[in-house]
Chain A
Amino acid sequence: MFGWIEQIVTISWFNLKNLRQRVGSSIATVVGVAGVVLVFIGVLSIATGFRQTLAQTGDPESVIVMRSGSNGELSSVLGLDEARVLAQGPGILEGEAGKLASAELFVVVDVPKRSTGTPANVPLRGISASGFEVRKDFEMLEGRRFEAGKNEIIIGEGAAAEFEGLDVGNSLRWGENTWTVTGIFSTGGTAEDSEIWTDALVLQPAYRRGNSFQSVHLRLASAGAFQELKDTLTTDPRLDVMVERKTEWYASQGSALSGVISFLGILIGGLMGFGAVFGALNTMYTAVSSRAREIATLRALGFGASPVVVSVLLEAVVLALVGGVFGAAIAYVAFDGFRAATLNFQSFSQVTFAFAVTPPLVIGGLLYAALMGVLGGLFPAVRAARLPVATALREL
């Protein structure tokens, strides 16, 4: 057993030292695998970043209530009476100015996107006085909050970065109303950072919504109070609502889009992988055939067939892993934290998010690289081991 391992180590070390002689084709393999891993991680980092942003929206104590059957805040309608009944539900945290239940309006406005210059659907949310407290991580980054009753808006940090003209002090005209930007806010990297906020009571007349709302956002005293609240509200005959944990609701909102992106990433990465495996196979076949005599000599000296197989395989895997590390490193530097915005079809509005190259993605990329190495090395390795010693020695 020890001899076997020693043989592998000897041959492999010998091979790796000789890499210099095959530098051209070895580099081609490394770059090939690096390219695949780069694209693979790059595309999946989009899906991961998008999913993370949505999953971070809300916390175990946040609850969203909409009309039952609606597929988003945009299509939901709740009357003022309903909103009042909702706020009396059990388990809702008591804030400084009463129960933490914010009745909200959700519309979209066209604002040009910086990256393309074309208009995009940016969410404009009208919140009630308790709307700030309902969101635990809310803070103003710049300027001040909007004043109740005035045509003032505050901008989420994501929206401020992705869309044009949303700077503090600017005035914007949408329809018949002019709005003044008074500040930039953050909710801690959630989907709500893509939004523009104002006073719900100002938004209602501007959009001719009478005194109706679209959703009520609540904060619970404890996460465990959710079920009781849900049961109470959904069985109340005065109401016709759906009650969801905000985290789960947002996660489900993004699942379709991140599913499509992941699918594309795996498809592209998978197809490209074939191309790279073909390249690696070429390299390893050439490496084996150019060393036919050398391998035969080793065999004649008493080295076994399996150490030859393992050593060829090892060489391929090492090359592929080097490529994988390069690819992952480039992906990390180029994409991690890269900000973008996309249309979330379910809410029909823009969500800004940052690409995320996470450790699982990197590990996945490296495993994929290793797999390409194994596939690229296996057949050439078997061929190397099967070389008839006598013929190979006579060759050339």
Chain B
Amino acid sequence: MKFLHLLWRNLMRKKVRTTLTIGSIFVAFLLYGTLLAVKTAFGAGVQLVGLDRLLTIHKVSLIQFLPESYMPRIEGIEGVDSVAHATWFGGVYQDPKNFFAQMAVTPERWLEVHPEIQLSDEQKQAWFRNRVGAIVGKVTAERFGWSLGDRVPIQGTIFRPPGGGAWEFVIEGIYEADKGFDGSQMFFHTKYLSETIEFADGQVGWFTFRVADPSRSAAIAEEVDALFANSPAETKTSTEKAFTQGFANQVGNLQAITTGILTVVFFTLLLVAGNTMAQTVRERTAELGVMKTLGFTDVQVMGLVLGESFLIALLGGGAGLALVSWAVNTGDIGGALFPTLYLPTQGVLLGVALLLFMGFAAGAIPAWQALRLSIVDALRRKG
């Protein structure tokens, strides 16, 4: 502990330089956190979604409908808890730029399968009762300034009501979403859709259901697909996690892109910080010699140099990571673009590991030099 003071005094000696070095490490970790959050947002919820929820889609493509009559058959399979279905509505509120997801669902079942949707009992009941009622995430409600009871017109792109014009929904509930669930979505009664649009009757987009024993997910998925094999609408069932990951992969090889960018960022800024550390030690050569003369051991001197490097990395990196998590957690910064912005714990831990590594890597060579430094050499060298 007594050395901490010494470390601190050393850092404060050249305030400008220390600030700048901490600043560049701060930037590196700010970027790390931002990229991590963005990557997670693209693969929305990949980390958190449990294995206990499965998704059944049309084998040829997600855009193909499945018969609603599959629902009781899936439910009949041993180990399947409750089944819900959803249909992508793809409507537009005022302007196509105001994108948010709307889905036609069976309300009771949908909430049962998705405990992440936090909705008060009153609002639930109100929604169940109203055929044109809808619930919407808080993010979206705030974005468009909707409140309970509002009538909201939404233009259909895939489904157009007979006679033209817009669909009208009544906001019966505004829900809060647990972390990792896209809380910008709107859900409404599938009945409203099927009773208005003839060709949507008896057709649904996909099924989602929970299984009692997640370890049997793979077996149950196979069983579902076997049930509908060789029918006009064959299915493909996967865990929600695998599905979301697959969907994220559609955007691109995000893993490769973010890893690539971060490698360049870290390499660049590590070099910048490492160079400054090396310079600092070079300038202090004579002083380190004096310390060794006074009885500081080689290891202690090395520790001081390394400690200074760690301290800089911790201050800069810690501040960077903290700022990102603060911004993401309080944040509206994601807004409509990335409704599910958050930092996965795993990523934060990796960030801390990277931070320690950076502290070590930047200080390693100067520390080694300090360890090897002989008193005679150090004192002979002139500034």
Q: Do A and B bind each other?
A: yes
Report Cα–Cα, A283/B273, bound state, in Å: 11
Report Cα–Cα, A116/B260, bound state, in Å: 16
Asked if A71 and B31 make an inter-chain contact with CB atoms under 8 angstroms apart, the answer reads no
**Which residues of chain A have a CB within 8 Å of any CB of chain B?**
24-25, 27-29, 31-32, 34-36, 38-39, 42-43, 69-72, 74-75, 107-110, 113, 115-116, 118-121, 174-176, 207, 256, 260, 264, 267-268, 271-272, 274-276, 278-279, 281-283, 285-286, 340-343, 345, 348, 350, 396
Asked if A176 and B232 make an inter-chain contact with CB atoms under 8 angstroms apart, the answer reads yes
Report Cα–Cα, A264/B99, bound state, in Å: 19
CB-nearest residue of chain A to B166? A69
Across the interface, B157 reaches (CB within 8 A) one of A69, A271, A282, A343, namely: A69
> Contacts A260-B337, A267-B34 known; A276 to B232 CB distance under 8 Å?
no
Report Cα–Cα, A265/B158, bound state, in Å: 33
Asked if B275 and A28 make an inter-chain contact with CB atoms under 8 angstroms apart, the answer reads yes
Asked if B17 and A282 make an inter-chain contact with CB atoms under 8 angstroms apart, the answer reads yes
Smallest beta-carbon distance A133→chain B, Å: 29
Which stretch from B59-67, B131-139, B179-187, B345-353 is at the chain A interface? B59-67
Asked if B253 and A285 make an inter-chain contact with CB atoms under 8 angstroms apart, the answer reads no
Report Cα–Cα, A176/B59, bound state, in Å: 11
Interface string of B261-291 (1 = CB under 8 A from A): 1001101110111111011000000000000
CB within 8 Å: A-B pair count: 162
Interface of B is mostly: helix
User: By CB atoms of chain A within 10 A, which of B17, B63, B267 has the most?
Assistant: B63
**Which residues of chain B have a CB within 8 Å of any CB of chain A?**
16-17, 20-21, 23-25, 27-28, 30-31, 34-35, 38, 59-64, 90, 92, 96-97, 99, 155-158, 160, 232, 234, 236, 245-246, 249-253, 256, 260-261, 264-265, 267-269, 271-276, 278-279, 337, 383
Across the interface, A25 reaches (CB within 8 A) one of B155, B253, B264, B279, namely: B279
Report Cα–Cα, A8/B265, bound state, in Å: 35
User: Which residues of chain B come closer than 8 Å to A36, judged between CB atoms?
Assistant: 268
User: By CB atoms of chain A within 10 A, which of B27, B28, B267, B383 has the most?
Assistant: B27
User: Which residues of chain B come closer than 8 Å to A348, judged between CB atoms?
Assistant: 63
Smallest beta-carbon distance B272→chain A, Å: 3
Asked if B264 and A39 make an inter-chain contact with CB atoms under 8 angstroms apart, the answer reads yes
Across the interface, A71 reaches (CB within 8 A) one of B23, B24, B157, namely: B157
User: Which residues of chain A come closer than 8 Å to B157, judged between CB atoms?
Assistant: 69-72, 75
Report Cα–Cα, A34/B271, bound state, in Å: 12
User: Which residues of chain B come closer than 8 Å to A121, judged between CB atoms?
Assistant: 61-63, 250
Report Cα–Cα, A92/B279, bound state, in Å: 73
User: Which residues of chain A come closer than 8 Å to B232, judged between CB atoms?
Assistant: 175-176
Report Cα–Cα, A70/B92, bound state, in Å: 10
User: Which residues of chain B come closer than 8 Å to A120, judged between CB atoms?
Assistant: 249-250
